[in-house]
Amino acid sequence: MKLPHSPWAEAGGDFAIGLRPIPEADWLEGGEADPAARKDPLIAACPEIVWGETPGSWDAQAEALALVAKVRGSQSGEAGLPPLLAAARRVSDDLCLMEQREGVWRLTALSLCAPSFFTAQDALGKSLAELHGPVDGFAARFGGRLERIFSGLRPGLILERRNWTVVNTDALFTPDSAPIRAQISRIAPEAAGRVLHLRVERQTLRRLPFTGGALFTIRIWRAPLETLEQDPERFVAFARAWRGATAEFRNYKGFASYDALVEAYIRARGESYSVNEV
């Protein structure tokens, strides 16, 4: 499958805010017949990894559910569920509710069934600054701007951003990087294009006009590295982004442990795309 997004072609190998407005019709990307069938077993097996809510968040949760119901319709059999959880069962996306608490934007509820190396338990209740603490250089480069974006978000405006990384799994549910990274040394260079995957997060942000909260959605897309070969421009853009990534970006995403494999892959295919001199 070809990925619907190629963020490495836009931002290259650097962190970026990269928010752009999108029409309401494009808010959530579908394509998964029954998200609840994937999410329910996780909610039953490890609720603390995939779900969290703080007291006082149900009004904003209900507002988020109403927005989802508008695009996905209502469903029965959800009585008693926290509203954000009911909303998350209807969509592929993970849903994160941000609200101001004593003047600080905090994560007051979330459903996180496709986590990229964090858990609901880790994230619940954290401020924007605390959530982004692990991202090298984030506070200095983006901290103030992010606060202003959340506080200034106009009702009706929907913003989208994408990010990317490379990982050696196609799993959606990856709360912990350690068991995945432990497998890297077993990957043969010839298998890199098949075993390594591009992992793209497509995120959206919109205001909840009545409660004043903000709903942040995260949709994960992934595809084997070798799918880049379906599109020479994408392949070339990826090779450039990989080789030109900043030290902070490489360090944060753990690219050093994939370097030999990705380079082997690019070099093996690169002659046909003239990227080996990049």
Beta carbons within 8 Å of 155's beta carbon, 6+ residues apart = 207, 209
What residues does 100 pair with on adjacent strands? 105
Which two three-digit tokens encode residue 14?
A: 């650097």
**255 binds ligand HEM per the rule CB under 6 A:** no
**Hey, is 231 helix, strand or coil?**
coil
174 beta partners: 116
- Is 180 near ligand HEM (CB under 6 A)? no
Interface with ligand HEM in residues 69-108 (CB under 6 A): 96, 98, 107
Other beta carbons within 10 Å of 140? 8
Residue from 6, 108, 163, 211 binding ligand HEM (CB under 6 A):
163
Question: Taking the complex as a whole, how short is the minimal distance between the CB of residue 235 and ligand HEM, in angstroms?
Answer: 21
Please tell me whether residue 17 binds ligand HEM under the rule CB under 6 A.
yes
Considering the complex, state which of residue 176 and residue 259 has its C-beta at the smaller distance from ligand HEM: 176
Classified as helix, coil or strand, 175 is: coil
Answer for which of 62, 118, 157, 181 binds ligand HEM (CB under 6 A) is 118
In sequence order, the β-bridge partners of residue 197 are 167, 224
By C-beta, is 58 or 118 nearer to ligand HEM? 118
If the CB atoms of residues 102 and 277 are measured against ligand HEM, the closer one turns out to be 102
What is the torsion angle, in degrees rounded to the nearest 10, for the CA atoms of residue 212, residue 94, residue 49 and residue 16?
A: -80
Question: Could you say whether residue 134 binds ligand HEM (CB under 6 A)?
Answer: yes
| Segment interacting with ligand HEM (CB under 6 A) among 52-60, 126-134, 238-246, 265-273 | 126-134
Least separation in angstroms between CB 254 and ligand HEM: 10
Phi-psi region of 45 (alpha: psi -120 to 50; beta: other; left: phi over 0): alpha
Footprint on residues 224-243 left by ligand HEM (CB under 6 A): none
146 touches ligand HEM by CB under 6 A: yes
C-beta closer to ligand HEM: residue 43 or 146: 146
Query: In this structure, are residues 199 and 164 in contact, taking their beta carbons and an 8 Å threshold?
Result: yes
Distance CA 255, CA 212 (A): 38
CB atoms within 10 A of CB 269: 18
Among 8, 51, 173, 216, binds ligand HEM (CB under 6 A): 216
Question: Which helix or strand (DSSP H or E) is residue 109 part of?
Answer: strand 104-111
Min dist. Cβ of residue 19 to ligand HEM (A): 6
The span from the CA of 144 to the CA of 157, in Å, is 20
Q: Does 132 bind ligand HEM (CB under 6 A)?
A: yes
Return the range that interacts with ligand HEM (CB under 6 A); candidates 51-59, 80-88, 128-136, 232-240: 128-136
Judged by beta carbon, residue 61 or residue 163, the one nearer ligand HEM is 163
Residue 222: what residue type? R
C-alpha span between 20 and 161 (Å, rounded)? 7
User: Residue with CB nearest ligand HEM?
Assistant: 163
Residues near ligand HEM (CB under 6 A), total: 17
Task: Return residues touching ligand HEM (CB under 6 A).
Answer: 15, 17, 19, 96, 98, 107, 118, 123, 131-132, 134-135, 146, 161, 163, 205, 216
